[in-house]
Structure 1
């Protein structure tokens, strides 16, 4: 099972720019994609990164360039509005680095004015700070091909200019030298000097090694990491290194993008949009748990089929995670996507183990669960928490590098992931294990002063709290524990007058939005799951939340949810999981109304 994963129009804009650069874009692709991009423009002229959010400068510049590429005239009313928005927010000069890289590909920004990303980074040994394994898996898979593109500095004109988006402002000043970011900006100047006069044999070896590194990490579906950024940069890098479009690697990469493409007929005409990623393993695991919570018994054919499919998705090969866990045998991990064997993650693995425990037992399932427990134990970080993809990926200096101005680039432990792992291990007999006890201690230390927990992969403190409370209770913490009480008090304080819960994505940047926002089905369900776990399912706040869900259920059994409640990069990249609005409310209602702890 997999629901659509909706993001923002940078996916479509960059797809058109990629295809133009490679010379493979078609008139239908241009027209249908442009129709979708136009439909997402806000009245004031910009494009947002999430539903209901403010316009974003970089997203708007990329959308504008894509629409110009599709043939929209510069004096069209919607482009005039977009242009006013761009100029009012600083113009091209204030866009993020990744947007300016796209502009540089077409001669609309000087390569010399971009941060240096030398390909020699791929040669650094693992003990050297800022080697590629100091970056999160999604970042390293982007940095390596990006280093190739940045080094080769190609320019293939768009056929038009974007001078109308310039303000003529001077670049922002470098951070003060006394700061770490300031020191790294000065280091960037040194790297620029090396880029102008590289050591020839070293540079050639670095480019060769980078190509080998990239090719070795292509997935069976043609993607890189199953996500858009490393995918497009890897295609660009290999193409620039001389790989023809007919080469099997590039052919598979381009063909794989079709599986991420959604085509739909609308009253305005056909539209074409792209998913940044796909989540079949995650969605299937959550769906199994939801059905079981709703009363579908273990062993039911639907649960057994889903369980069999999940068993077949177990990753039995070594990936980048083994760099820091070289003695851990492969097996026992699951990824988010259909094909992402190089990058299983602890969060999906935990949810799969919980789902397998509800789907129906059998020796293959029991063996897979044992392997999953072994792998999760091995992936615990030294501080007792769990990160998503790597162990102890916490070198914060990486965040201050000049080219890292968008999205998280490291993968430290987080409350939501740690909670999911603790719950999975505890529910399946490990509540008293040292690993779970260390995980519980980590969660207690990570609780915010207001009683909530931060949500790394879901929005935001409602998500983190909805994960942490059930995990702590499953691990043996009594409902009377002060940490649980503070969490329930916080949920009570942030419950909306309509009975639901919601939290705006802006809470990642503005603390005043923490726990505040229009009620949504998924966020209301997360809060209810915490209340249920803590034995507060028969309280006024729980019944008001239940009432909110019941009153807003559609005739077909689902719920509407236009607001984004999923997180890619906190504050920078947000996701609308189309199944969240279904699986979490079903789980919450099933537990609360079917568990016997609340009258019907």
Structure 2
């Protein structure tokens, strides 16, 4: 249950940190106009249905792989390929490369996929830009040095040998839940990708391409002299070596004609794929499982006019953007995330809680709550649904981060039917409490999805294979609980705070799993602590504040490069951006630093860089899909693989959320404006002790078998 709303809605008026702002400060010139202008800009962007939705920009492999998909399915057409080609060529850098994010060094695998797609589309290899791309690819070792998923794409068209791809038998589908590794030990996104790949790796299809599209020139040696063996791990002892040896054994077994369980495994994978298609035709709401599922079904004999195939192909239209004779393909869409952040920004910007735009958005979000089950129930047994997704359609994988932000938005809107909204919030809170992992944190999609063995198999050389708890998601959920009146006395909150404190960096900030990077982590944690009524003068809080001050740029803003995920020299360093400056300001304001010169300089940076229409420009990528560690979190030793050291982030996936440049700055400016006027922080309310009855699903796991025995005894 939730705390009594009548009791928690009273604004605190006590002294001290419970109400750190007691006086009215002189406003910064232009602040009122900037807030009004930014609010008006956001209001103008709302869709008639009530949501906000901006582009989710990633990297050009999306367009390259979509082009290859159309070839694989036999649905390629000249006009689509022409527009995709235009975009790929427009994204190519002057040195001939393609990268993972804005300003990134050229990436071998990304450049290889783009080169092959362009050549298949008819772009001449003698074109100067193609020559430069070829020189770069060869300088990095060529096709043999690309990542596994690039090799899979090339193998599908005969441009690499299937024997050079790590083995993963389809019988993986049949492993019981008690086995050390199962498909449900993969993260939700990896699971939805691996299942169709089991079919593809079993059948090893090869679609023909014209000789003119072959990429033999990207091999350092002739293909018949190329070594296709799987790389031996650097460490002689470890799980990587164990799985490497297992891969060798599996390859020998694959040659045997006797595979008694293979047909059963393929049939189970097929049923799983069919059961996991979403209403919009996607799988998992993201590009990788979507394309692999369509190809797996095609391999299994599904014709293009089959309803599942039709829906899957047509669904890509909602992920595609045509602009100036170019076609871009989004890896994902983010309407629910964009909508809740926009609502919070508008509320911070003094838009009336009963404004028609907010009521429309609230009504739309309420109708999107997911009240059916999904894969998350495998490890969260007995927990009732109540979350929201990130995308328009992803009912099987509701998102904990989205759910917490949506609750914070809905909680502040003055809707006519307050009881209906309260019931929706109660369902969401029960679900979130039930999804808390045993270490006290919360992950993005699953509970206790922490089996690091999944990242050790040879197949896993890209992205994140598991979904462990992260500080930023945990902080957002704690901030939500604080806004609703929960305190540190509640067991779930206490465990979450303990987790956050344990994850703090020695120099003060927190690692950012879903945003770049330590600035994002600090920007999530300090507002959560403030919302819970924590002591903002505590030493660990002041360490974070000092770190933010020390990493402010000379122009008054804050910025952090994606390279900070692999190079500690870039920690908190990079060109100033609107969103990262806003995160730093939100943290400083939460810590009570309203009058601090760093805060004022940050505000002035946002005012100075705001565009005439109320928006901000932000080419830099500040969102994170995958840091590229494999284990979904920062490792203690920083990792020993090349992916941990290369500035191109070859195993990462970075995002530029186009709505971030509008929402976050308005939040920061709006809260600053509120605080200098003597108004309260959004979550400053009378705290009430909340009953343990509200706490669902979290119990400390007994440390060992003896403890379990003693507990039972």
Give the TM-score, by structure 1 length.
Answer: 0.98
Alpha-carbon shift at residue 200 of structure 1 (Å): 3.6
Alpha-carbon shift at residue 430 of structure 1 (Å): 1.4
Pick from 69, 74, 78 the counterpart of residue 18 of structure 1: 69
Equivalent in the alignment of 1:341: 395
Asked if residue 259 in structure 1 is aligned to residue 318 in structure 2, the reply is yes
Q: Is the 8 A contact 1:321 1:390 kept in 2?
A: yes
Pick from 84, 97, 121 the counterpart of residue 33 of structure 1: 84
Equivalent in the alignment of 1:325: 380
Asked if residue 481 in structure 1 is aligned to residue 541 in structure 2, the reply is no
Q: Is the 8 A contact 2:354 2:413 kept in 1?
A: yes
Asked if residue 159 in structure 1 is aligned to residue 210 in structure 2, the reply is yes
Counterpart Cα distance in 2 of 1:326 and 1:196? 40
Seen in structure 2, the aligned counterparts of structure 1 residues 469 and 105 have a Cα distance that, compared at 3 Å, is: same
Pick from 364, 371, 384 the counterpart of residue 316 of structure 1: 371
Equivalent in the alignment of 2:691: none
Q: Is the 8 A contact 1:177 1:183 kept in 2?
A: no
Counterpart Cα distance in 2 of 1:172 and 1:491? 44
Asked if residue 90 in structure 1 is aligned to residue 141 in structure 2, the reply is yes
Q: Is the 8 A contact 1:452 1:490 kept in 2?
A: yes
Q: Counterparts in 2 of 1:177-216, with a 5 A limit?
A: 177-197=236-256, 199-216=258-275
Q: Is the 8 A contact 1:224 1:230 kept in 2?
A: yes
Counterpart Cα distance in 2 of 1:424 and 1:513? 31
Q: Counterparts in 2 of 1:122-141, with a 5 A limit?
A: 122-141=173-192
Q: Is the 8 A contact 1:537 1:598 kept in 2?
A: no
Partner SS state of residue 55, structure 1: coil
Counterpart Cα distance in 2 of 1:199 and 1:464? 52
Pick from 552, 560, 565 the counterpart of residue 508 of structure 1: 565
Q: Is the 8 A contact 2:509 2:518 kept in 1?
A: yes
Range 171-180 or range 398-407, more displaced: 171-180
Asked if residue 286 in structure 1 is aligned to residue 344 in structure 2, the reply is no
Partner SS state of residue 564, structure 2: helix
Counterpart Cα distance in 2 of 1:544 and 1:19? 50
Pick from 378, 388, 401 the counterpart of residue 434 of structure 2: 378
Alpha-carbon shift at residue 597 of structure 1 (Å): 5.8
Counterpart Cα distance in 1 of 2:678 and 2:514? 30
Partner SS state of residue 322, structure 2: strand
Asked if residue 545 in structure 1 is aligned to residue 602 in structure 2, the reply is yes
1:325-371 deviation digits (Å, cap 9, x = unpaired): 121122x2011000000000110000000000112251111001111
Q: Is the 8 A contact 2:594 2:675 kept in 1?
A: no
Alpha-carbon shift at residue 594 of structure 1 (Å): 2.4
Asked if residue 430 in structure 1 is aligned to residue 486 in structure 2, the reply is yes
Q: Is the 8 A contact 1:117 1:150 kept in 2?
A: yes
1:65-105 deviation digits (Å, cap 9, x = unpaired): 01001101111111100000100111001000000000000
Partner SS state of residue 625, structure 2: strand
Counterpart Cα distance in 1 of 2:573 and 2:406? 31
Partner SS state of residue 442, structure 1: helix
Equivalent in the alignment of 1:459: 516
Partner SS state of residue 437, structure 2: coil
Counterpart Cα distance in 2 of 1:562 and 1:89? 27
Pick from 432, 445, 457 the counterpart of residue 389 of structure 1: 445
Counterpart Cα distance in 2 of 1:320 and 1:561? 36
Alpha-carbon shift at residue 179 of structure 1 (Å): 2.2
Partner SS state of residue 327, structure 2: strand
Seen in structure 2, the aligned counterparts of structure 1 residues 552 and 593 have a Cα distance that, compared at 3 Å, is: same
Equivalent in the alignment of 2:460: 404
Counterpart Cα distance in 1 of 2:666 and 2:167? 49
1:104-139 deviation digits (Å, cap 9, x = unpaired): 001111111110111111111111122000000000
Counterpart Cα distance in 2 of 1:11 and 1:357? 37
Asked if residue 577 in structure 1 is aligned to residue 634 in structure 2, the reply is no
Counterpart Cα distance in 2 of 1:595 and 1:297? 17
Give the TM-score, by structure 2 length.
Answer: 0.82
Q: Is the 8 A contact 2:158 2:206 kept in 1?
A: yes
Asked if residue 419 in structure 1 is aligned to residue 499 in structure 2, the reply is no
Counterpart Cα distance in 2 of 1:65 and 1:108? 9
Partner SS state of residue 507, structure 2: coil
Equivalent in the alignment of 2:689: none
Equivalent in the alignment of 1:369: 425
Equivalent in the alignment of 2:666: 586
Q: Which has the greater radius of gyration? A: 2
Partner SS state of residue 405, structure 1: coil
Partner SS state of residue 273, structure 2: helix
1:457-505 deviation digits (Å, cap 9, x = unpaired): 1101100110011111212211101111000000011111111000000
Aligned residue-pair number = 594
1:277-332 deviation digits (Å, cap 9, x = unpaired): 000000000000000000012122111111111100100100001001121122x2
Equivalent in the alignment of 1:558: 615
Pairwise CA RMSD = 1.2
Q: Counterparts in 2 of 1:262-281, with a 5 A limit?
A: 262-265=321-324, 270-281=325-336
Q: Is the 8 A contact 1:537 1:597 kept in 2?
A: no
Counterpart Cα distance in 1 of 2:269 and 2:230? 32
Counterpart Cα distance in 1 of 2:396 and 2:585? 35
Counterpart Cα distance in 2 of 1:482 and 1:197? 63
Alpha-carbon shift at residue 17 of structure 1 (Å): 0.5
Partner SS state of residue 328, structure 2: strand
Alpha-carbon shift at residue 63 of structure 1 (Å): 0.3
Alpha-carbon shift at residue 22 of structure 1 (Å): 1.0
Equivalent in the alignment of 2:526: 469
Counterpart Cα distance in 1 of 2:230 and 2:550? 41
Q: Is the 8 A contact 2:166 2:230 kept in 1?
A: no
Counterpart Cα distance in 2 of 1:489 and 1:206? 55
Q: Is the 8 A contact 1:440 1:475 kept in 2?
A: no
1:411-438 deviation digits (Å, cap 9, x = unpaired): 0000100000111011101123211111
Range 306-315 or range 426-435, more displaced: 426-435
Pick from 285, 291, 299 the counterpart of residue 226 of structure 1: 285
Partner SS state of residue 310, structure 2: helix
For structure 1, list consecutive stretches of 5 or more residues without a partner in the other structure.
none
Q: Counterparts in 2 of 1:74-153, with a 5 A limit?
A: 74-153=125-204
Higher relative contact order (CA 8 A, sep 6+): 2
Partner SS state of residue 413, structure 1: coil
Alpha-carbon shift at residue 177 of structure 1 (Å): 3.3
